[in-house]
Amino acid sequence: MAIARRTRTIAGICEPAEMSLPELRTPAVGAVHPLVCPEGWPRMFLRSAPIVCDLGAGNGRFAAAYAELHPEWNILAVERRLPRVRKIRRAQELRRLSNLRVLWLGWDDLLLGWSQPESCREIHVLFPDPWPKRRHQIRRTLSVRVLTAIFRVLEPGGFFRLLTDDAGYYATVEQAAAALPGFGRAEDPGGFPETQFETIFRSRGTPLHGAIWRKPEGNGTERKRRGAA
Ligand SMILES: C[S@@+](CC[C@H](N)C(=O)[O-])C[C@H]1O[C@@H](n2cnc3c(N)ncnc32)[C@H](O)[C@@H]1O
């Protein structure tokens, strides 16, 4: 199973020159990097803790603030633009966030290659690129396939949170989520730090669309299937 051709470097470390451990080096094209999978994360974070993902993390404002709020969790920011990856890494260093890591890769690739079901506590997708023109909508990252992968990797009781300014994008995700077994809308507990885009949209008065979908507690389909095997 290949993670991605775009997988270049990981673990909050942007370039091979900055890598301190030989095993963090760029993988061969098409190879699964040993750390870009749940089995590798305890080594990447230097500890075992629940994993929370911020996918398409931008400048990392949410991921860094969430890491500060929840030192008991491992926060994984995923971003495909290198300058933004570097910003997140700088924030991680300046604020000494030992529970934050950034991956430089496509988050769809990460999810589709994610080897262990039910191994992620929370997934936040905050202002994914909307591709509003009809002919461009095929480029949206949050496809039915990717949403199904999100459902698969969430722990029972874990949640997926989406926030967007694009009503159409939100509606397609809502429809796709309704087709997944027991993936119900949950109450928003609130208290989430704002993202950079959220602040911009709120200051302009742009209507926002968002929700939380929670995976059923204790009766995850994957777990049942694994138990039956
Ligand atoms: C509109 S910005 C939102 C950034 C941040 N979440 C916020 O709310 O401030 C979308 C971000 O997702 C990143 N992105 C888009 N598609 C991606 C993908 N497939 N994998 C990783 N990052 C992606 C973009 O580079 C960009 O930084």
Question: Of all atoms in ligand 1, which is nearest to the CA of residue 56?
Answer: 12
Domain-located, residue 44: yes
State yes or no: pLDDT of 23 exceeds 70. no
Q: Which percentage of the chain shows pLDDT scores above 70? A: 79
Domain-located, residue 125: yes
pLDDT, tens digit (0-9, with 9 covering 90-100), for 47-80: 899 999 999 999 999 999 999 999 999 999 999 8
Question: Of all atoms in ligand 1, which is nearest to the CA of residue 200?
Answer: 9
Report which of residues 10 and 34 the model is more confident about.
34
Count other Cβ atoms within 10 Å, centred on residue 18: 12
User: Helix (H, G, I), strand (E, B), or coil: what is residue 88?
Assistant: helix
Q: Which percentage of the chain shows pLDDT scores above 90? A: 58
Domain-located, residue 175: yes
Nearest CA to ligand 1 atom 4: 58
Q: How far is the CA of 128 from the centre of ligand 1 (A)?
A: 5
pLDDT score of 6: 39
Average pLDDT across the chain, whole number = 83
Enumerate residues 6+ apart whose C-beta is below 8 A from 205: none
Nearest CA to ligand 1 atom 26: 58
Domain-located, residue 1: no
If we measure between CA atoms, which residue out of 170, 104, 112 comes closest to residue 140?
170
d(CA 62, CA 69): 10
Report which of residues 18 and 79 the model is more confident about.
79
If we measure between CA atoms, which residue out of 112, 114, 107 comes closest to residue 54?
107
Number of domains forming the structure of the chain: 1
Domain-located, residue 37: yes
State yes or no: pLDDT of 91 exceeds 80. yes
Q: Give, for ligand 1, the residue of 78, 110, 127 to mutate: max count of ligand atoms closer than 8 Å to Cβ.
A: 127
Domain-located, residue 199: yes
pLDDT score of 219: 52
Report which of residues 93 and 37 the model is more confident about.
93
Which of 26-40, 130-144, 187-201 comes out lowest in average pLDDT? 26-40
Domain-located, residue 14: no
Domain-located, residue 75: yes
Residue 87 sits in which domain range? 24-228
What is the domain-level CATH number for residue 147?
3.40.50.150
Let me know: does 112 contact 36? Beta carbons within 8 Å.
no
The catalytic position among 108, 109, 129, 188 is 129
- Pocket flag, ligand 1, residue 129 (CB < 6 Å): yes
pLDDT score of 33: 57
- Angle at CA of residue 124, ends 88 and 159, nearest 5°: 145
Nearest CA to ligand 1 atom 18: 106
Task: Tell me, yes or no, if 129 is annotated catalytic.
Answer: yes
Structure tokens given for 96: 């000494």
pLDDT score of 100: 93
Nearest CA to ligand 1 atom 19: 106
Mean pLDDT computed over 121-134: 95
Band the pLDDT of 41: cuts 50, 70, 90.
confident
